[in-house]
Amino acid sequence: MSTPLKLGAVIITMGNRPVELRDLLDSVAKQHGPPIEVALVGNGSPLPELEGSAPRLRTVELPENLGIPGGRNVGVELFGPNGSDVDVVLFLDDDGLLPGTDTGELLRQAFTADPELGIVSFRIADPETGTTQRRHVPRLRAADPMHSSRVTTFLGGASAVRTKVLAQVGGLPDEFFYAHEETDLAWRALDAGWMIDYRSDMVLHHPLTEPSRHAVYHRMVARNRVWLARRNLPWPLVPAYLGTWILLTLARRPSGPALRAWIGGFREGWATPCGPRRPMKWRTVWRMTRLGRPPII
């Protein structure tokens, strides 16, 4: 009988959600199967006091906020280089909660059954209504959130990544700070031959929110989308991808301040370093197209 895959969970916090964090840790501790260790990162803030039962914790308090990808990368390293102490690392938002006790076992089964599976994206549901926002279904045909499928990206705060993927293609892009860092990793993973699944039966409860609640949202979304294209796409696809997103942004009729922030971020994306450029293979472009989402949208 094979040894069960070892799971670790990375949670970053700014210390301002102690109740939600406590509930999340409790939900991780209640998972069936071997215990899931947790890497808890205070991202530019002290960690809150954590009383009561908890999963086994590895902790660090960072002196400054490194952003979402930077904080998560630090958490991964708490499990050894590229998370080598575990087989799969979960990324969980600190205001989320695993309502089921079988998510860990479902993950072990999924990754064991499919050696090509590199990343799993969970279904995010509002704890009060059970609603899954359309933007939380990582595919173009998002009308039915209960339908599981292969996808080309994933949800950063409700996901699991095989650590072999991180060892092969690297972690999340630190410089992105916030927005599109998951897609950057997803594209690199796909280009290396890994697959990504959206699984509706693996659920993270998370309150309904809008990403625009963050003051930096419009600037970073625009900047990072340019960086994403510059880093990962063959040059002929760069204008197609960015042109599509310009049209979609204008169609959404952003407010004047939001549009100005977006334009500033778009310019910043071209004017600033974006990290190493590793354009994906054309066969990866075709593979993504067959999965229903060519890398121009």
DSSP for 228-248, please give it: HHHHHS-GGGHHHHHHHHHHH
Is residue 294 assigned to a domain? no
What are 41's strand-pairing partners?
12, 60
Copy the structure tokens of residue 224. 């990072």
CATH code at 61?
3.90.550.10
Query: Domain range for residue 263?
Result: 215-279
Cβ atoms 145, 118 nearer than 8 A: no
Cβ atoms 44, 68 nearer than 8 A: no
Copy the structure tokens of residue 184. 């950057």
Q: Is residue 149 located within the same domain as residue 18?
A: yes
**Total structural domains within the chain:** 2
Q: Is residue 176 located within the same domain as residue 240?
A: no
CA distance 39 to 72: 9
CA distance 164 to 166: 5
Is residue 288 assigned to a domain? no
Is residue 131 assigned to a domain? yes
Is residue 78 assigned to a domain? yes
Per-residue confidence (pLDDT) for residue 215, from 0 to 100: 57
Per-residue confidence (pLDDT) for residue 285, from 0 to 100: 98
CA distance 119 to 90: 10
Q: Is residue 222 located within the same domain as residue 244?
A: yes
Q: 257: number of CA atoms within 13 Å, CB side?
A: 4
Report phi then psi at 56, rounded to 5: -65, 125
Q: Is residue 145 located within the same domain as residue 228?
A: no
Q: Is residue 181 located within the same domain as residue 267?
A: no
Q: From first to last of its 297 residues, what are the pLDDT tens digits of the chain?
A: 579 999 999 999 999 999 999 999 999 999 999 999 999 999 999 999 886 555 679 999 999 999 999 999 999 999 999 999 999 999 999 999 999 999 999 999 999 999 999 999 999 999 999 999 999 999 999 999 999 999 999 999 999 999 999 999 999 999 999 999 999 999 999 999 999 999 999 999 999 877 655 558 999 999 999 999 999 999 999 999 999 999 999 999 999 999 999 999 999 999 999 999 999 999 999 999 999 999 998
Is residue 45 assigned to a domain? yes
Give 188's contacts (C-beta < 8 A, 6+ positions apart): 169, 170, 232, 278, 280
